[in-house]
Amino acid sequence: MDFAFDARTQELRAKLLTFMEQYVYPAETTAHEQRLLLKSPWDTPAVVEELKAEARSQGLWNLFLPDAEHGAGLTNLQYAPLAEITGRSPHLAPTALNCAAPDTGNMEVLAQFGSDEQKKRWLEPLLAGEIRSAFAMTEPEVASSDATNIETRIAREGDEYVVTGRKWYISGAMNPDCRIFIVMGKTDPDNEDVRRQQSMVLVPRDTPGVEIRRAMQVYGYEDHSHGGHAEVVFHGARVPAENLVGEEGGGFAIAQARLGPGRIHHCMRLIGMAERAIELMCRRAVARTAFGRPIAQQGVVQEWIADARVAVEQLRLLVLKTAWLMDTVGNRGAHTEIQAIKIATPRTVLDIIDRAVQTHGAGGVSQDFPLAELWAAARTLRIADGPDEVHQRSLARRELKKYL
């Protein structure tokens, strides 16, 4: 295993680090201020479009997509250090580079399973950053970490599919630029094979019968920068049969394929979030004095900083090993490692951000530092894309199999 940056990665890293300093960090405050003046809080602030244009002109665009025909053609190992850098400003930088979830996973699905017509109509504008998209799987009425529970009905009627069901926490769907939903539902609920009951269809936002009911909050945040997380109801929304993605009964397998890269991308960005938290923690600790000495001289704070550094270095190595495995033996071969990082990274990074919050006192929970928002974002990643316990169960089973 060799994790040294190759020439292409080094060049892109250098460019991206400069882009973050020159454009992204200054835009954090601007985006916040502009949003307060928008007609709808779900619209995209002008500064985000400016960032996108600048990133694209610098070649910092679609870096996530390993497919060289549509994306930058980077391996996971090349992309990992770049995604980490964008994680330092997780609400702006990934969007600026057209590398934000859920669009990334949706573009991967369309690139891999979409028909030529679907690619032309939806993938091309997504790759160009002209529209956004959502992935609608989770339902409030059923335990959705088990995808076989999904109840939304996708019924074939003549040359159409009729979609009926209720979804929630559909990321990005509040943003009016989100024009297309990939919806998971059941086309064959009676199939004996519970993993062949599901299909995915493309439902344009403006289809009659699609109701964007409300924005779901995250610890009281609306999560505007992410495009919100919507409750969406499909009241018998009709789409042409050619909107099926892949084949009927193939929805479960597509969902599995979508999640592998999505999970490692989250972990890469989480490491960047941890690095930002450590930097803020250190800056604050050296700048404030309590009881006659800088907070940085308190043994307990030094212990937090040291433990955070050790933990981040461990996590990064595991994420790089996982990226390397995905590149060399494929996503299936890296299954255990993908689960391991999805278990270890959010909870460890959450702990690091929490120490950084503590080091800041009241400022840590305020809107004047990004820490509270980072904490809320990291906390959701112990649930989204598979709760910790689901990964632990599956990883443990694979481990135990060796001894049965």
Ligand X SMILES: Cc1cc2nc3c(=O)[nH]c(=O)nc-3n(C[C@H](O)[C@H](O)[C@H](O)COP(=O)(O)OP(=O)(O)OC[C@H]3O[C@@H](n4cnc5c(N)ncnc54)[C@H](O)[C@@H]3O)c2cc1C
- Residues engaged in binding ligand X (CB under 6 A): 102, 135-138, 143-145, 169-171, 218, 229, 380, 383-385, 387, 389-390, 393
Q: How many whole angstroms separate alpha carbon 254 and alpha carbon 183?
A: 12
By CB atoms closer than 10 A (0-12, 13-18, 19+), residue 57 is exposed
Which DSSP letter does residue 69 get?
T
Of 16 and 134, CB closest to ligand X: 134
Least separation in angstroms between residue 302's CB and ligand X is 34
Instruction: Work out how close the CB of 134 gets to ligand X at its nearest, in angstroms, rounded to a whole number.
Output: 6
Q: Which is nearer to ligand X, 229 or 265 (CB)?
A: 229
CB of 387 to ligand X, least distance (A): 3
CB of 250 to ligand X, least distance (A): 17
Judged by beta carbon, residue 306 or residue 396, the one nearer ligand X is 396
Q: Which is nearer to ligand X, 30 or 144 (CB)?
A: 144
Tokens at 329, concatenated: 């033996």
Compute the least distance from the CB of residue 105 to ligand X, in Å.
Answer: 9
- Residues 6 or more apart whose Cβ sits within 8 Å of residue 285: 294, 295, 296, 301, 305, 359
Collapse the DSSP code of 404 into the 3-class scheme (helix H, G, I; strand E, B; otherwise coil) and give the result. Answer: coil
Give CB contacts under 8 A, 24+ apart, made by 300-304.
Answer: 301/359, 304/355, 304/358, 304/359
- Report whether 91 contacts 225 (CB < 8 A): yes
DSSP secondary structure of 158-191: TTEEEEEEEEEEEETTTSTTEEEEEEEEES-TT-
SS3 of the chain: helix, strand, coil, percent, to 5: 55, 15, 30
Q: How far is the CB of 393 from ligand X (least distance, A)?
A: 4
Cβ-based neighbour number of residue 117 at 10 Å:
10
Nearer to ligand X, 235 or 393 (CB): 393
Nearer to ligand X, 90 or 102 (CB): 102
Question: What is the Cα 104 distance to its own chain's centre?
Answer: 8
Could you tell me where the DSSP H helices lie in 20-45? 25-37
Nearer to ligand X, 209 or 387 (CB): 387
CA distance 10 to 8: 5
Nearer to ligand X, 275 or 385 (CB): 385
Distances (CA, A) of 403 to 261, 335, 340, 399: 30, 19, 20, 8
Nearer to ligand X, 303 or 399 (CB): 399
Q: Which residues 6+ apart lie within 8 Å of 204 measured at CB? A: 179, 180, 181, 239
Q: How far apart are CA 344 and CA 317, in angstroms?
A: 12
Taking the complex as a whole, the smallest distance from the CB of residue 388 to ligand X amounts, in Å, to 7
Closest contact distance (angstroms) between CB of 77 and ligand X is: 27
Q: How far is the CB of 309 from ligand X (least distance, A)?
A: 28
Q: Is the dihedral of CA 160, 164, 165, 169 positive or negative?
A: positive
Dist CA 82 CA 180 (whole Å):
27
CB of 394 to ligand X, least distance (A): 8
3 state SS of 272 = helix
Select 41 or 330, whichever has its Cβ closest to ligand X.
41
